[in-house]
């Protein structure tokens, strides 16, 4: 937190800067002098050593003849789930950590009375070396405060003699939630820090892996070093995907050309996978097709039968064969449904119905299986792929809907499956539509009809 030093320097204070890296301290000292500090000394020291602490306090007093503020700022962090800790000695340097500090200095404040003021600062997530890397990747969605802003607030607060400072101040809302409804707070904290499964060496079967979302889900699992069984009808495309997956890090990939609408094919590819790898850990039910047409314009119902056969029955056949093997491994099932299952997008009535059936079926299965097998139901919005390619889109007059990249969607799907989420909507803003449907279904349906049916008829007429 060099910015605390700069903030004191701006106010003309003299400084003693302490840390282990002397070269970095010298850079901060030079800048502090330029900003306005009339005197700066640096002391290389390790605050975890009692003799170092004695020495830098003595150096400060010997040099300046007095000490007015002590800012106890040095700290380190190590991130891991308690269950994953192997050596407690790795964590020894962190203690006594933050809760203990608060308790200690609150006690000290009652001992000192008004002789020495103590300001206890509880920052939220602040941009710094500490918040980069692991924290940043896990909690990138949490708004971060700039170090300069936090440093200014700290020095202001110390100079005003505040007892406490929480920075940014909105973090206090969490304190109130914790006090008023601790169950909600702990449930929320638990959900955001969920354990993410390590799939390296595990066996993942993906249907519809020859293109689009399935192809990129395969690459994402490959990056995590999982073994893959890739299923689709086009063998040449599957071989290309398999080669790339190997390059990306998958230790072993097999391809099984098959048609998921055939019950005997689904048995065959599950058996081949388990015979080859000896286990099955995740099943990704992704294969799907669509057809775009107004219900009134459809003449042959048989044209639509394949939508149900592939999208619904294909997932059911695959799942039925996979469940005994998944159960042995406490495995997972990922189901590619769609937001259109509840967003009644015109011209897709049979497709929408096939996805709604999938959701209902897998929600029921989740209740039947309990905690033995995890089920993640994915409801993507519009994702760039062969299925959503321009010609089909223009037929549906949906080109204006923001299409998310297949890579981004695949990454979110695999992360969600590894976390064991029950649901994933991608992109997440599509959830707004779900809430609209619940709160004001008339408005949503009128909007869909006007945009995708009426407007098209009007533009045809004119
Ligand atoms: N793209 C979107 O906007 C979007 C939105 C919501 C949901 N989804 C869902 O996401 C999944 C993937 O879609 P996508 O966009 O990636 O489409 P895509 O690029 O057309 O991929 C569909 C995949 O399914 C395979 N497939 C189709 N029929 C099959 C069959 N009978 N047997 C085996 N494999 C079959 C295809 O391979 P072969 O042709 O080689 O067999 C292909 O690999 C689908 O379930 C889709 O409904 C997509």
pLDDT confidence of residue 233: 98
64 φ/ψ angles, rounded to the nearest 5 degrees: -100, -15
> Which residue has its alpha carbon closest to ligand 1 atom 17?
387
DSSP code at position 443 = H
The C-alpha atoms of residue 255 and residue 50 are separated, in whole angstroms, by 62
Tokens of 13: 């204070």
Ligand 1 atom, smallest distance to 386 CA: 19
Tokens of 436: 């609209």
The C-alpha atoms of residue 164 and residue 145 are separated, in whole angstroms, by 18
Same domain, 324 and 255: yes
> What are the tens digits of pLDDT across the range 270-316?
999 999 999 999 999 999 999 888 888 888 888 789 999 999 999 99
Whether 24 is covered by a domain: the verdict is no
Q: Decide which of 128, 160, 193 is a domain's last residue.
A: 193
Q: Decide which of 170, 193, 216 is a domain's last residue.
A: 193
Domain assignment of residue 329, given as a range: 203-461
- How many domains is the chain built from? 2
pLDDT confidence of residue 390: 45
User: Quick check: helix, strand or coil at residue 227?
Assistant: strand
Whether 147 is covered by a domain: the verdict is yes
Same domain, 154 and 302: no
Q: Decide which of 158, 193, 228 is a domain's last residue.
A: 193
Identify which of 235, 261, 287, 384 to mutate to test ligand 1's pocket (most ligand atoms within 8 A of the CB). 287
pLDDT confidence of residue 8: 97
68 φ/ψ angles, rounded to the nearest 5 degrees: -105, -45
Same domain, 318 and 381: yes
Residues near ligand 1 with C-beta < 6 Å?
Answer: 207-214, 232-234, 237, 259-261, 286-289, 310, 336, 338, 380, 382-383, 385-388
User: Quick check: helix, strand or coil at residue 313?
Assistant: helix
CA of residue 357 to ligand 1 center, whole Å: 17
CA of residue 373 to ligand 1 center, whole Å: 24
Whether 238 is covered by a domain: the verdict is yes
Whether 46 is covered by a domain: the verdict is no
Q: How far is CA 325 from the centre of its chain?
A: 28
Whether 297 is covered by a domain: the verdict is yes
Identify which of 207, 228, 232 to mutate to test ligand 1's pocket (most ligand atoms within 8 A of the CB). 232
Tokens of 146: 């700039």
CA of residue 212 to ligand 1 center, whole Å: 7
The C-alpha atoms of residue 370 and residue 242 are separated, in whole angstroms, by 33
Ligand 1 atom, smallest distance to 238 CA: 40
Catalytic residue at 195?
no
Same domain, 274 and 423: yes
Tokens of 90: 């790795």
The C-alpha atoms of residue 417 and residue 333 are separated, in whole angstroms, by 8
Percent residues over pLDDT 70 in the chain: 85
CA of residue 258 to ligand 1 center, whole Å: 13
- Of 200, 250, 199, 198, the C-alpha closest to 229 is 250
> What are the tens digits of pLDDT across the range 107-163?
888 888 889 999 999 887 767 665 555 445 555 556 677 889 899 999 999 999 999
The C-alpha atoms of residue 293 and residue 288 are separated, in whole angstroms, by 17
Whether 167 is covered by a domain: the verdict is yes
User: Pseudo-torsion of CA 55, 59, 60, 65, nearest 10°?
Assistant: 130
CA of residue 314 to ligand 1 center, whole Å: 12
Same domain, 230 and 188: no
Ligand 1 atom, smallest distance to 309 CA: 31
Same domain, 261 and 388: yes
Identify which of 255, 288, 339, 412 to mutate to test ligand 1's pocket (most ligand atoms within 8 A of the CB). 288
Do residues 225 and 201 make contact, with C-beta atoms less than 8 angstroms apart?
yes
- At CA 300, angle to CA 294 and CA 303, rounded to 5? 85
- Of 274, 4, 212, the C-alpha closest to 126 is 4
Scanning the structure block, which residue is given the tokens 């909690």?
139
Same domain, 269 and 305: yes
**Is the model's pLDDT at 170 over the cut of 90?**
no
Which has more pLDDT, 254 or 173? 254
**Is the model's pLDDT at 439 over the cut of 70?**
yes
Identify which of 212, 362, 403, 424 to mutate to test ligand 1's pocket (most ligand atoms within 8 A of the CB). 212
Q: What is the mean pLDDT of residues 447-461?
A: 76
CA of residue 384 to ligand 1 center, whole Å: 11
CA of residue 288 to ligand 1 center, whole Å: 4
Do residues 185 and 174 make contact, with C-beta atoms less than 8 angstroms apart?
yes
> What are the tens digits of pLDDT across the range 344-376?
888 899 999 999 999 999 999 999 999 999 999
> What are the tens digits of pLDDT across the range 84-98?
656 666 666 655 567
Whether 406 is covered by a domain: the verdict is yes
Q: Which of 6, 304, 317, 351 is the catalytic position?
A: 351
**Is the model's pLDDT at 325 over the cut of 90?**
yes
> Which residue has its alpha carbon closest to ligand 1 atom 1?
383
Same domain, 217 and 171: no
pTM of the model: 0.69
* CATH number for the domain that contains residue 321: 3.40.50.720
Ligand 1 atom, smallest distance to 233 CA: 41
Same domain, 143 and 288: no
- Of 41, 47, 45, the C-alpha closest to 65 is 41
Pairing of strands 227-232, 253-257: parallel
Q: Which residues pair with 374 in a beta bridge?
A: 332
Scanning the structure block, which residue is given the tokens 């006690």?
107
Tokens of 120: 């206890």
Burial (CB count within 10 angstroms: exposed 0-12, middle 13-18, buried 19+), residue 315:
buried
Same domain, 234 and 171: no
Ligand 1 atom, smallest distance to 285 CA: 45
Number of CB atoms found within 10 A of residue 91's CB: 13
Whether 109 is covered by a domain: the verdict is no
What b/e readout covers 372-390, taking b as 16+ CB neighbours within 10 angstroms? ebbbbbbbbbbbbbebbee
Same domain, 423 and 359: yes
Same domain, 130 and 228: no
């Amino acid at each position: 937190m060099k910015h605390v030093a700069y903030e004191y320097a701006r106010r003309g204070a003299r400084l003693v800067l302490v840390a282990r890296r002397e070269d970095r301290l010298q850079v901060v000292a030079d800048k502090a002098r330029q900003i306005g500090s009339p005197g700066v000394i640096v002391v290389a020291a390790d605050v975890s050593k009692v003799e170092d602490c004695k020495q830098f306090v003595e150096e400060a007093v010997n040099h300046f003849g007095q000490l007015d503020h002590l800012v106890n700022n040095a700290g380190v962090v190590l991130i891991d789930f308690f269950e994953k800790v192997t050596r407690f000695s790795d964590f020894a340097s962190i203690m006594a950590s933050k809760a203990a500090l608060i308790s200690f200095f609150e006690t000290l404040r009652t001992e000192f009375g008004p002789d020495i003021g103590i300001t206890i600062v509880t920052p939220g997530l602040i941009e710094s070396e500490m918040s980069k890397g692991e924290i940043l990747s896990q909690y990138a969605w949490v708004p971060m405060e700039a170090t300069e802003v936090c440093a200014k607030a700290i020095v202001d607060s110390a100079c005003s003699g505040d007892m406490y400072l929480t920075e940014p101040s909105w973090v206090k809302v969490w304190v109130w939630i914790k006090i008023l409804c601790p169950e909600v707070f702990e449930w929320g904290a638990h959900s955001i820090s969920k354990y993410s499964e390590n799939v390296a060496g595990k066996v993942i079967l993906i249907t519809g892996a020859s293109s689009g979302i399935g192809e990129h889900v395969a690459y994402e699992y490959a990056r995590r070093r999982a073994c893959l069984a890739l299923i689709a009808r086009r063998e040449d495309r599957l071989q290309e995907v398999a080669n790339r997956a190997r390059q990306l890090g998958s230790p072993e990939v097999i391809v099984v050309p098959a048609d998921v609408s055939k019950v005997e094919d689904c048995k065959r590819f599950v058996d081949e996978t388990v015979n080859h790898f000896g286990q099955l850990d995740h099943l990704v039910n992704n294969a799907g097709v669509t057809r775009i047409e107004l219900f009134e314009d459809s003449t042959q119902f048989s044209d639509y039968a394949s939508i149900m056969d592939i999208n619904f029955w294909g997932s059911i056949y695959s799942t039925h064969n996979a469940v005994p093997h998944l159960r042995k491994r406490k495995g997972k099932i990922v189901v590619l449904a769609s937001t259109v299952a509840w967003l009644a997008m015109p011209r897709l009535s049979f497709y929408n119905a096939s996805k709604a059936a999938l959701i209902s079926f897998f929600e029921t299965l989740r209740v039947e299986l309990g905690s033995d097998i995890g089920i993640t139901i994915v409801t993507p919005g519009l994702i760039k792929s062969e299925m959503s390619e321009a010609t089909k889109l223009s037929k549906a007059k949906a080109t204006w809907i923001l299409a998310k990249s297949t890579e981004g969607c695949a990454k979110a799907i695999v992360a969600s499956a590894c976390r064991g989420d029950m649901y994933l909507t991608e992109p997440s803003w599509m959830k707004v539509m779900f809430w609209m449907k619940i709160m004001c279904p008339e408005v949503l349906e009128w909007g869909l009809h006007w945009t995708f049916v009426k407007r098209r008829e009007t533009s045809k007429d004119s």
